[in-house]
Amino acid sequence: MNGNKNNMFTPERWLTSFLCVWIPQNISLFGAGLVQFALIWWLTSATNSAIIVSMAAAIALIPKAILNPFIGALVDKGNRAFIMIISCLCLAGCSIILAFLFLGGIVQTWHVLITLLIRAIADTFHNKAMMTSTSLMVQPHHLTRIAGINQAFYGVIMFVTPALGALLLKMSSFTTIMIIDFAGATLAVLPLFFIRIPQPSSYNQSNKRLNFRLLLTDIAEGFRYLQHWPGAVGMLVLSAMMNFIMQPYFSLIAIFVRATLQGGEIEFGLLGAMVGLGFLSGGIILGIWQGHPRKMVTSLTGMMGAGVAVMVSGSLAFAGIIPELACFFLAGAMMPLCMGPIQALVQKTVKKNMQGRIFSIMECVSTSVAPVSLLLAGKIFDIFSPEVWYIGGGLTAIGIALFGFMKRKIRNLGTVASY
């Protein structure tokens, strides 16, 4: 695989080749979504503790917060198809082990927490390999549209899996959900043996010698790249602050349902489904519209809309589930508008052999605050109520968006084509 001729898909075949990889990978996400729903609800029912559920959500984010720069550098240096194969096999292995534990009735809280950690590491490797491969598999002028479609598909998964998960838990068992995920992960592996995943043109030279010192050098190079990209540091700070606010809102729905709405798995499934429907709607809008020519304008608009949704959600919690369905839908719809343009901006602007590191550093910075916010929110949920976090966080998110609009470097990020 030397040179661009061998590494890039031809214009005539790029869509077919991309879809042969993309469709099975996304089908496997259905199983992963079911597992996430089932495990969070099991922890909520078994412990009835906001702190335990917060710990579970935080554990799932630790690899992104700590290991992301190393994973990004390894993805830039490694064979991306091989990385995706190993990641999918790890996910399949976790599910089949949990299936036997649930079947035997011997599953413990620590089993679930360790499984969530292993799955998070494997998922981080997989996502980085797939995300960085997309910019080599897809024609550049389609990257924003593909980002929007990805967000829409993620919305479908978020819409379907809570409702389907609640139904499966009512009619079947946790074991069934684990087996479904095992089948999906296995399906995702198969096309990777037959479809060639492109590598950056520097792959053969860069992967010959890989050691820890070189890895650190590569990570430092990624940080320098962002430091000299006008507005990038400001964007990272805003993203981290938004994630600090939104992560508890989406991750601790089960506690909100039990503590405030006095509901069960059906209400949990309904609110999760509305978040997913919102993601789907926002992704479709972004896929068709492709956003403002200045990508950060679209992203900042999404941040402001999400802040409004969260603030209203906390203010109307006393009114029951109906207004909450609308608020969670709106918050979900704003997320593709926040994330999709930034992803497309990086894919289009950053060097191909740097994208793994840049995506990883960006995700590392934005998610590093999430474990802290989840634990803090869990404590606030237990001592006061979820509404306190929702109202305060929503107002803060609106302020963050307004600040971004006021800063020219952030607002115009990525508009300098020569960078």
Mean pLDDT of the residues in the chain:
82
Which pLDDT value is given to residue 286? 82
- The CA radius of gyration of the chain, in Å to the nearest whole number, is 21
Which pLDDT value is given to residue 6? 42
Residues 6+ apart with CB under 8 A from 25: 84, 126, 130, 188
Does the pLDDT value for residue 171 go beyond 60?
Answer: yes
In CATH, what number does 3-411 get? 1.20.1250.20
Q: Are 282 and 333 in contact (CB under 8 A)?
A: yes
Q: What stretches of 293-354 show up as alpha helix (H) in DSSP?
A: 295-315, 321-349
232 closest CA partner among 397, 337, 75, 358? 358
**283 or 299, which is more confident:** 299
| pTM score of the predicted model | 0.69
**323 or 60, which is more confident:** 323
Cα–Cα distances in angstroms (integers) from residue 190 to residues 11, 21, 132, 158, in the given order: 24, 9, 20, 24
What is the domain partition of the chain in residue ranges?
A: 3-411
Q: What is the mean pLDDT of residues 124-144?
A: 78
53-67 burial, b at 16+ Cβ within 10 Å, e below that, comes to bbbbbbbbbbbbbeb
Instruction: Find the range with the poorest average confidence among 34-48, 136-150, 177-191, 365-379.
Output: 136-150
pLDDT digits (tens, 9 = 90+) for 7-53: 444 555 777 778 888 888 888 888 888 898 889 888 888 887 878 88
pLDDT band at 201 (very low <50, low <70, confident <90, very high): low
**98 or 132, which is more confident:** 98
Determine the Cα–Cα distance for residues 42 and 287; give it in Å rounded to an integer. Answer: 35
**151 or 267, which is more confident:** 267
323 closest CA partner among 336, 309, 334, 333? 309
Does the pLDDT value for residue 204 go beyond 60?
Answer: no
Q: What stretches of 105-211 show up as alpha helix (H) in DSSP?
A: 109-137, 143-171, 174-189, 203-206
Instruction: Find the range with the poorest average confidence among 130-139, 183-192, 291-300, 380-389.
Output: 130-139
Q: Are 204 and 7 in contact (CB under 8 A)?
A: no
Instruction: Find the range with the poorest average confidence among 311-315, 356-360, 413-417.
Output: 413-417
Cα–Cα distances in angstroms (integers) from residue 298 to residues 256, 352, 416, in the given order: 30, 24, 17
Determine the Cα–Cα distance for residues 273 and 329; give it in Å rounded to an integer. Answer: 8
Which pLDDT value is given to residue 303? 93
Structure tokens at 57: 């959500």
Q: What is the mean pLDDT of residues 245-251?
A: 90
Placement of tokens 């509901």 in the chain = 263
pLDDT digits (tens, 9 = 90+) for 406-415: 988 888 876 6
Which pLDDT value is given to residue 249? 92
Instruction: Find the range with the poorest average confidence among 21-35, 182-196, 282-296.
Output: 282-296
Which pLDDT value is given to residue 334? 93
Q: What percent of the chain has pLDDT over 90?
A: 21
On the 0-12 / 13-18 / 19+ scale of CB atoms within 10 A, 105 is exposed
Which pLDDT value is given to residue 419? 40
Does the pLDDT value for residue 98 go beyond 90?
Answer: yes
**203 or 149, which is more confident:** 149
Q: What is the mean pLDDT of residues 345-372?
A: 77
Residues 6+ apart with CB under 8 A from 231: 296, 407, 409, 410, 411, 412, 413, 414
Which pLDDT value is given to residue 4? 42
